[in-house]
Structure 1
Amino acid sequence: MKIMLFANTDWYLYNFRGSLAHALRDAGHDVLLVSPAGPYGPKLQAQGFRWVSAPMDRCSLNPLRELVLINWLRQLMNREAVDVVHGFTIKCAVYGSLAGRLARGSGGVPARVSAVAGLGYVFTNNAPKARVLRPVVRGLFRLALGGSRSRLVLQNPDDVTLFEQAGLIAPERVRLIPGSGVDCVRFHPAEPTEADARPRSLRVLLPARLLWDKGLAEYVAAARALRASGRSIHFLLAGTPDAGNPATVPEATVREWEAEGVLKWLGHVNDMPALYRAVDVVVLPSYREGLPKGLIEAAACGLPLVTTDVPGCREVVSDGVNGYLVPAKNANALAQAMARMHDDPAERQRMGAAARARVLAAFDERIVIRDTLAVYAELLDMDGGTPTGPQALMPLSNAKTHTTPQGQPA
């Protein structure tokens, strides 16, 4: 079976869907990876995958250029005789499904799966550009996701409700799968050492792309307040600006924060498990998420979490159990939650253990892979007589864990 995974960056395929690609290949399927050109394409090829560079510009709003891309995808699917197309993020989900609907004659690609990790800039930002694009994106969603062979995969119940209320897709075609999962073997708690018993500054980390929507302004304001209060807290920021996102934070601004002494900017980090094991608390004051992988990875490493009470984040954190939930865009509440973490080491330890247990139960990547294959099987079973089904595709017990260097968080 030929399965095409399509994303808006090769980095996303490498870091977030590598385990799925490996599991599919291990099960005997032909995996085709498609994304715009980038430095991670050759790395995917070095792992033995076929990777094709797509003529895609993430920021493009040129109708002609977008039509050329959709037609290119349609021709690629025809040439490769694709059985399943799985698109990730809004643009790839819509274009992949639309091209799949047009491919292979009137029948289209047998299984079209669209995975949307949150609603993105168009729906979360009230800038004029976002408001203008909103009805256009809604219309494209309805067109691309139509038909019985299409499924939309969402990562949290709030987005399921939103898509259903907006009438973007029939409710029976929506499936809820919590993110891309995490390798709980690679992401594990640090071993206790004698040094852990010595007094030192609390180390707080925000791992994310440098976007205003991730709550960076609130993080900086809270850090300033806590520094002024005299608490011994060391604030870290891991990630890089995203030039393809209108909400990106300029590098010059981050440099100013660092020069001020508010935080230390780590930039792109290759070994995220090692970083998580070197800090005490992970924070994500995001305005909205699909399901934040950075929080799940940190929880797998046994870290207590502070995040916002918004869609996506509240699926990972139960307030007072494995971390604290605070209102979005509220630097005061964020500072108070981090102060509580600083003041109660025993509570941090208890919450970190609860965080790890929750990930093992709900967010292990093997669970996500199993549920993803079940969606493929559901669509392919429509052909009748095909020995598919999730167990035929690849049983959970056979799902292998593959480790790859983890870079900038989502």
Structure 2
Amino acid sequence: MLSNSVCRLLFVVNEAAFFLSHRLPLAQAARQKGYEIHVATPESTAVKKIRQEGFSYHPIPLSRQGRNPWKEIEGIMALYFLYRRLRPDLVHHVTLKPVLYGGIAARLAYVPAVVNALTGLGFVFTAQGVGADILRYFLNKIFRLAMGHCNSYVLFQNPDDRLLFVEAGAVPEEKTILIKGSGVDIQVYSPQPEPVDVPVVVMASRMLWDKGVGEFVDAARVLQAAGVNARFVLVGDTDPGNPAAVPQSMLKEWRDQGVVEWWGYRDNMPVILAGANIICLPSYREGLPKILIEAAACGRPIVTTDMPGCREIVRHGKNGLLVSVRDSRELAQALGTLIKDSEMRQRMGQEGRALVVAEHSVDLINMQTLNLYGKLLPKSLC
């Protein structure tokens, strides 16, 4: 418990649903330690659950994909006034835009301590072309300002992202820390017997091109043409505001052609994973994909790309297979190998479970993050 006074902790996240899926256990653990929990996100239906948890909720005008400069400035100023009014002892910014805008606002408002958590680098860091290069150049300049708070840490989920920012001069290495994702509840996500019918390959993510949806569908076509008997399932919703969004019409077309099944958004991932034989995520880049940690916790083998974030979960040949990014034929070959070899799937599933128990349990991740808070807060509050 905090000994002398209550420490006011504010989470700033650009989606209430993301806070619930990725930061709720941390907020609950912090409350148990005596923190007073506040959450700032844009309004949505998921806010009801935040209020039901007993957290103080603060609406903010922060859009995920906004490109109107005046609206973006409004977002920064809204955070500034919130910080001045609420006077939090520690602000934990989660994801790219809260880090950028909240970091600037926190410096202007003299917030005592800040954690900037980069959970993934988003479309602008996976996009190719001159326009994306120019945008990345200017973003680096803004990152230096946003992450320059004298009493702060930048939290990365994989070493590649940390190295990228340090080498770009966006943040000094001594102000960075590596914590492996948000963790999973290893009691909820536990091994279940593998389905014995036609093998089921599941890709669960937002339906974005840079998640590798196109490569997954192409790999399914290759395997079906080769006579491989398996079901290929996409689980996840569309994301119309994202530049990399796969059109809903295309998802329906693939479904109608019988190439893949598209189940849309589901909130019962333990059940989905129990009904799968293989989990696939051919993403172009990630922070640390929670779905892969959940899959490994459930004893399911993984096929993913040898890219930042993804390769932190998979030990090639141990608990899954790594393939080259944007290579649907190599992806098909890896999936085909696992589809045909149930003993390999079982062995890899056991290895994955052991890895998660040792390195990715939610209790371990929460403890590491709470220890980070303790480093930043004044001794009178710790």
**TM-score, length basis structure 1:** 0.89
Equivalent position of 1:386 in the other structure: 380
Kindly provide the amino acid, as one letter, of the partner of residue 84 in structure 1.
L
Equivalent position of 1:247 in the other structure: 244
Deviations along 1:25-50, one digit per CA (max 9) or x if unpaired, are 12221111111111100111112222
Aligned equivalent of 2:63, options 19, 32, 57: 57
Q: Cα–Cα, structure 1 residues 361 and 27, in superposed 2: closer, same or farther, change >3 Å? A: same
Kindly provide the amino acid, as one letter, of the partner of residue 124 in structure 2.
V
Aligned equivalents of 1:44 and 1:253: distance in 2?
34
Aligned equivalent of 1:7, options 13, 17, 20: 13
After TM superposition, give the deviation of residue 137 of structure 1 in Å. 1.5
Equivalent position of 1:93 in the other structure: 99
Equivalent position of 2:310 in the other structure: 313
Deviations along 1:303-355, one digit per CA (max 9) or x if unpaired, are 00000000111100010000000000000110000111011100100000100
Paired residues of 2:115 and 2:154 also in contact (CA < 8 A): yes
Aligned equivalents of 1:155 and 1:143: distance in 2?
21
Aligned equivalents of 2:61 and 2:290: distance in 1?
28
Aligned equivalents of 1:8 and 1:249: distance in 2?
21
Aligned equivalents of 2:339 and 2:312: distance in 1?
24
SS in 2 for 1:241: coil
Gaps of 5+ in 2: 1-6
Aligned equivalents of 1:127 and 1:7: distance in 2?
29
Paired residues of 1:85 and 1:97 also in contact (CA < 8 A): no
Kindly provide the amino acid, as one letter, of the partner of residue 262 in structure 1.
V
Aligned equivalent of 2:40, options 34, 43, 53: 34
Aligned equivalent of 2:187, options 176, 185, 188: 185
After TM superposition, give the deviation of residue 191 of structure 1 in Å. 4.5
SS in 1 for 2:93: strand
Aligned equivalents of 2:250 and 2:205: distance in 1?
16
Equivalent position of 2:285 in the other structure: 288
Paired residues of 1:121 and 1:130 also in contact (CA < 8 A): no
Aligned equivalents of 1:235 and 1:244: distance in 2?
26
1:16 and 2:18 are equivalent in the alignment:
no
Counting only pairs closer than 5 Å after superposition, residues 88-237 of structure 1 correspond to structure 2 as 88-103=94-109, 108-127=110-129, 129-191=131-193, 196=195, 200-237=197-234
1:324 and 2:321 are equivalent in the alignment:
yes
Aligned equivalents of 2:193 and 2:272: distance in 1?
14
1:70 and 2:67 are equivalent in the alignment:
no
After TM superposition, give the deviation of residue 94 of structure 1 in Å. 1.5
After TM superposition, give the deviation of residue 64 of structure 1 in Å. 2.1
Aligned equivalents of 1:352 and 1:102: distance in 2?
49
**TM-score, length basis structure 2:** 0.96
Paired residues of 1:184 and 1:300 also in contact (CA < 8 A): yes
Aligned equivalents of 2:182 and 2:86: distance in 1?
26
SS in 2 for 1:99: helix
Deviations along 1:282-313, one digit per CA (max 9) or x if unpaired, are 00000111101111011111100000000111
Aligned equivalents of 2:216 and 2:266: distance in 1?
19
* Identity in percent: 41
Once superposed, what is the RMSD of the aligned Cα atoms?
1.3
Gaps of 5+ in 1: 389-410
